[in-house]
Structure 1
Amino acid sequence: MEWIQRLNDAMSYVEENLTGEISLEGAARRAACSAYHFQRMFPYMTGISFSEYVRRRRMTAAAMDLAEGAKVIDTATRYGYDSPTAFNRAFQSVHRLPPSAAQARGAALRAFPPITFTLSIKGENAMEYRIEEQASFRVVGFAMRETMTLEDCFKKVPGFWGQTAGELPRLAALMDGSGPMGILGVSACDGGAFSGYYIAAATQAPAPEDMAEYHVPAGTWAVFPCRGPMPQAMQDLQRRIISEWLPSSGYEYAEAPDIEVYSADNCHNEVWLPIVRKK
């Protein structure tokens, strides 16, 4: 229940600052986790990104102000938009009509209420897992180093795998058992921030000139087998882990990389979630 309360504290932070500054870091502090992990957890729990939620809440409040007679330019400024054009675009993305139309009596507007997290009783479908204590290891492979939201990952990572498909035999040849066995998808986390996505293999061999290396720190992971067509099965499992397993597990997200492990036969794939015992 403490985890649920912390998420609701983050939602209170949004409501308290609809006309002020709202940052991912500020919400994460209220949720008592890193910005990186809050950004990853929020869409799994709600179905939308944090930035989209903030926009919907602000445009819901803005519509109410306009309907009560507020001027468009004043409302844009009130909700943090220096440019009327940007405000118009954001407003139309939510309400499907321009801000000026919201001032008319009978305008058809849309309202997105504040999100409240509650404990949902599930469990009809079992989730298999094991806890792994893993020593630090090094991975070598191909890196995509750019700032990405979870939605960006869903769109860009499958394409990155497609671009790298021809190199997978080279990666397989590097595997030496120094870490998880398989081709790895590593969402690197350094200092609580996303630092890149690697398609790689655990190895102690020197990195070829066209590859990058990354050191995964020692830690504890919850490991979940993944079955079904990729990448949808992997994404669906990750949603269940965050929304169903983690809240009641006695663990919380650790400051370490998320890892996907893909076997040669594609029948023994796994999700490795970094965890630490709740204090």
Structure 2
Amino acid sequence: MLEKLNQAMEYIEGRLGQRIEAAELARIAMTSEYHFRRMFSALAGMPLSEYVRRRRLTLAGAEVLHGERTLLEVAVRHGYSSGEAFARAFRAMHGVGPGEARRAGAVLRSQPRMSFRLVVEGSSSMEYRIVTKDEFRVVGRRARVPLVHEGANPAIAEFVRGIDKETVARIAALSDQQPEGIVQVSDNLAESRAEGTELDYYHAVVTGADAPDDLDVLVVAAGTWAVFENSGPFPEALQYLWRDVFTQWFPSSPYRSRPGPEILRVRVSEDGAQGDAELWIPVEPTTA
């Protein structure tokens, strides 16, 4: 998988002055476009579109300083249809406009070319199982919240505090299948998964039962799930679990992610310092 990802990175480098389609990169990597975007964001720490933009503007910055081409020629060479669009993008990355950079010999920012490699640390192992589920419902309370990569999510914490105990008890009573009990469900995330982008968060249960009219419902199609378990400091270890699934497990597994909600079942210690987690990720075989 990593070899194919690096072939896609080579393709990006060869077409920085042209339109780059994520679908073509996914074809080179021999995976789905959805999984390619997810994998890239997890491994690179930024969305695909942001990496391409930074690489273009890094090369454009060097040409601006070199001074052989006009600013419009540099803009067109790096995929910008107008000098104005190029100037805005250039300033957003480098902090100065291209004309100012050429006159003043400014210090510019650089995005290094990326390649991926697997680092085997051997200090921990990941426990997982593959589960096939029929269609089910996620039933509970829903809120639109920003994505937070590390530390507590204040918006989620405030939302959960606002659900009264009687409603929580009614929701919990609907649980009738794995994962059992109250779960945290993330759905409808932005493709980039960038910090601050929004998602649908459900404080809910997984059930086959009909839902009361006053509760929110998400119908989930039948499919295959990879289920991971870990324990550690709360919430950091649980958030790192998401990262490790995409940066360590997927590159060496015969599965790829598919569209669908991600389900997290957490049990926190009485002092709130430790947590046991069970993370359900929708997957499909890479040969599918």
Aligned to 1:96: 95
SS of structure 1 residue aligned to 2:163:
helix
Counterpart of 1:90 in structure 2: which amino acid?
A: A
SS of structure 2 residue aligned to 1:268:
strand
Deviation at 1:275, TM superposition (A): 3.1
Question: Relative to total residues, which structure has the larger helix share, 1 or 2?
Answer: 1
Aligned to 1:252: 256
Counterpart of 1:173 in structure 2: which amino acid?
A: R
Aligned to 2:26: 28
Deviation at 1:163, TM superposition (A): 4.4
- The answer to whether the 8 Å contact 1:137/1:216 transfers is yes
Aligned to 2:123: 124
Aligned to 2:110: 111
- The answer to whether the 8 Å contact 2:139/2:206 transfers is yes
Aligned to 1:197: 200
Counterpart of 1:224 in structure 2: which amino acid?
A: E
Aligned to 2:47: 49
Counterpart of 1:229 in structure 2: which amino acid?
A: F
- The answer to whether the 8 Å contact 1:141/1:201 transfers is yes
* Distance in 2 (alpha carbons) for counterparts of 1:134 and 1:225: 22
Aligned to 1:162: 157
Aligned to 2:2: 4
SS of structure 2 residue aligned to 1:219:
strand
Within the alignment, does 1:59 sit opposite 2:57 as a pair?
yes
SS of structure 1 residue aligned to 2:127:
coil
Deviation at 1:105, TM superposition (A): 8.0
Deviation at 1:56, TM superposition (A): 0.9
- The sequence identity of aligned pairs, in percent, is 32
* Distance in 2 (alpha carbons) for counterparts of 1:153 and 1:92: 27
* Distance in 1 (alpha carbons) for counterparts of 2:268 and 2:188: 26
Counterpart of 1:34 in structure 2: which amino acid?
A: S
Counterpart of 2:41 in structure 1: which amino acid?
A: P
* Distance in 2 (alpha carbons) for counterparts of 1:196 and 1:96: 31
* Distance in 1 (alpha carbons) for counterparts of 2:127 and 2:182: 21
Q: CA RMSD in A?
A: 3.4
* Distance in 2 (alpha carbons) for counterparts of 1:136 and 1:193: 27
- The answer to whether the 8 Å contact 1:259/1:271 transfers is yes
Q: How many correspondences in the alignment?
A: 269
Counterpart of 1:116 in structure 2: which amino acid?
A: S
Segments of structure 2 that go 5 or more residues without pairing to the other structure are none
Aligned to 2:241: 237
Within the alignment, does 1:173 sit opposite 2:170 as a pair?
yes
Within the alignment, does 1:220 sit opposite 2:225 as a pair?
yes
Within the alignment, does 1:271 sit opposite 2:279 as a pair?
yes
Counterpart of 1:19 in structure 2: which amino acid?
A: G
* Distance in 1 (alpha carbons) for counterparts of 2:258 and 2:237: 23
After superposition, the C-alpha distances for 1:212-249 in whole angstroms (9 at most, x for unaligned) are 3322423232322343222x333211111211222223
* Distance in 2 (alpha carbons) for counterparts of 1:45 and 1:243: 6
- The answer to whether the 8 Å contact 1:182/1:262 transfers is no
TM-score with structure 1 setting the length: 0.79
Deviation at 1:52, TM superposition (A): 1.7
Aligned to 2:140: 141
* Distance in 1 (alpha carbons) for counterparts of 2:192 and 2:43: 20
SS of structure 2 residue aligned to 1:131:
strand
Segments of structure 1 that go 5 or more residues without pairing to the other structure are 147-151
After superposition, the C-alpha distances for 1:67-100 in whole angstroms (9 at most, x for unaligned) are 3322223323333334544423322333233212
Within the alignment, does 1:153 sit opposite 2:147 as a pair?
yes
After superposition, the C-alpha distances for 1:11-37 in whole angstroms (9 at most, x for unaligned) are 133223211212434433333333333
* Distance in 2 (alpha carbons) for counterparts of 1:91 and 1:30: 30
* Distance in 2 (alpha carbons) for counterparts of 1:22 and 1:144: 35
TM-score with structure 2 setting the length: 0.77
